[in-house]
Copies of this chain bind each other. A is one copy, B any other.
Amino acid sequence: MQNPTAAMLVIGDEILSGRTRDANMYHLAGTLTGVGIDLTEVRVVSDKQSAIVAAVQALSAAYDYVFTSGGIGPTHDDITADCIAAAFGRTIDVREDARSLLAAHYAKSGSELNAARLRMARIPEGAALIENPVSVAPGFIVENVYVMAGVPSVFRAMVETVMPTLTGGAPLISETVRIDRGEGDIAAPLGALADKYPALSMGSYPFQKKNGAYGSNIVIRGTDHADIRRAVEELTAVLGL
C-alpha cells in the first residue's frame, strides 16, 4: 500500500532573497515522515498572486495534501488567503467565527481590532478553520490545502493542531551507517544491495571532514524494520565494517 503524498508551498520573499533561512520546511518534513506521509515536493515562491495561485493549483492536483506557510498576517504583503480563494474559484470575506476569535483576543490584550487585523478574519468560502493556540488568528483548510502561518512558532502550533486529523501511512523508519571512505569506494556494493532490496530506499549522503577526507552517511529507509536490519548487516559485512 502506498503512503499518502504531500507537498509544501513556502510563500515569502524573505527566503528567496536569502534574508531568512527556512525553518518550517525542515520541521514539516520531519513531522510528516514520522506519521507515514511522504513529502514529495516543496516549492518556494515569492509574494506574487500569479505565482502563488499557479503553485497551489498544481500541487493540489498532484498530491494528497498540500501545506502552505506564510502570508496570512495583517500587512499589505499578506495575500495568501486571497490567492487560495482565487485558486479554487471561491469568494472570500470576513467570517463571523474568525472575527469573534480575534475580537476576544484583542479585547483581552487591550489592542484595537482595526481594519488591518480584521484582514486575518478573511476566510475563503467553505473553508474549515485551523486553531492557532499561539496568536489566535486562524489558519484554514480549503479542499486538500492547509494554509498556515510563516512565523515558526505559529506554524509549528498549527501543524500540531492538524496532525491528528490527517490520514497517515506506515511510518518511514531509517538506519544510518556512517562510512569513512569516499563514495566511489562503496558505490558498487551499495548499488548491488539497493537492487536486492527494491522495497527499501538507500541514499548515500557524502560529507567532507575538516581535514579534507571524504565519507558518506548511508541511509536505508523503509517501513519494515526487519528488512532494514538485514540490509544494514549485509552492508556492514560486505564493507568489512
Contact = CB atoms under 8 A, between A and B. Distances in A.
A202 interface: yes
Nearest to A51: B41
Interface stretch (A21-29, A88-96, A158-166, A226-234): A21-29
Interface string A61-100: 0000000000001111110000000000000000000000
A199 interface: no
B26 A73 contact: no
A216 to B, nearest CB: 8
Nearest to A176: B19
Given A14-B219, A116-B188, A153-B208, A25 B22 contact: yes
A30 B18 contact: yes
Given A26-B21, A39-B16, A202 B77 contact: yes
Per DSSP, chain A at the interface is mixed
Given A42-B43, A206-B151, A17 B75 contact: no
Given A26-B21, A184-B114, A204-B75, A40 B16 contact: yes
A188 B115 contact: yes
Contacts of A127: none
B205 A20 contact: yes
Interface string A140-179: 0000000000010110000000000000000010100000
